[in-house]
Amino acid sequence: MKQNYHLLFKEELKHIQGKPKLLLHVCCGPCSGYILTQLLDYFDITLFYSNSNIYPPKEYNRRKNELIEFVSVINKELNQNISIIDYDYDVDQYHKKLEPLKDTGEKGLRCKLCYSLRMNDTYNYALVHQFDYWTTSLSISPHKNSQWINEIGESLNNDQHLKFLYADFKKDSGYLKATQLSDEYNMYRQDYCGCRFSLEERDSRNK
């Protein structure tokens, strides 16, 4: 039976007191904008850019720089102090881990492993640096399996001082609102998920 993670998210927000520290894993600016508007009133947010899946390095840097520019604007407009952690980038080792599952396609086991690797990095960083909550922006995409994402988060929920924030950010037209916001800020929106295999699948579809 599928869990309603969007309902769990809304229930959790009702119980937030003060402004706990949240580490939010993000993959790009367009996926982050709308989510930030939903969380800024509740949390002291740090963004965690951990995306060794993104290929090639030029694309990785383009998405990262787009995120940095967007956050700079948001900080000024909304009088915020959102910081970005630029985590280790090792695309070659990452793709070696994904290689055995390369033919499982988007939404397949390759993607599940990819979620897990990046979320593990996020959890471990949040644990070491004493955050109160952690979560990921991945569920904003209609191409991502939100059940898997939240199940991975739940499986890592092993410390009483660090809590995974369940969410399905695509709900309540979240993805549509995210694309509208990215248009408003004239952000670059990529046309493939990120890894070399998803790029090859995109190129094959476009032929």
Q: Which residues contact 188 (CB under 8 A, 6 or more apart)?
A: 29, 30, 62, 63, 66
CA pair distance 197, 54, nearest whole angstrom: 10
Which pLDDT band, with edges at 50, 70 and 90, does 1 fall under? low
State phi, psi for 177 to the nearest 5 degrees.
Answer: -65, -35
For residue range 120-158, list pLDDT tens digits in order: 999 999 999 999 999 999 999 998 999 999 999 999 987
Average the pLDDT over 85-96 and give the result.
Answer: 96
List of domains in the chain: 5-206 (3.40.50.620)
pLDDT score, position 7: 97
Q: Which pLDDT belongs to residue 65?
A: 95
Give the pLDDT confidence of 32-87 residue by residue, as tens digits.
999 999 999 999 999 999 999 999 999 999 999 999 999 999 999 999 999 999 99
Query: How far is residue 5's CA from residue 11's CA, in Å, rounded to a whole number?
Result: 10
* Greater pLDDT, 179 or 2: 179
Residue 38: Cβ within 10 Å count: 17
Could you report the per-residue pLDDT of 165-205, keeping only the tens digit for each? Answer: 999 999 999 999 999 999 999 999 898 999 999 999 999 88
Please tell me whether the overall predicted TM-score, pTM, comes out greater than 0.75 for this model: yes
Cis-peptide, bond into residue 57, ω within 30° of zero: no
**Cα–Cα distance, 144 to 159 (Å, whole number):** 26
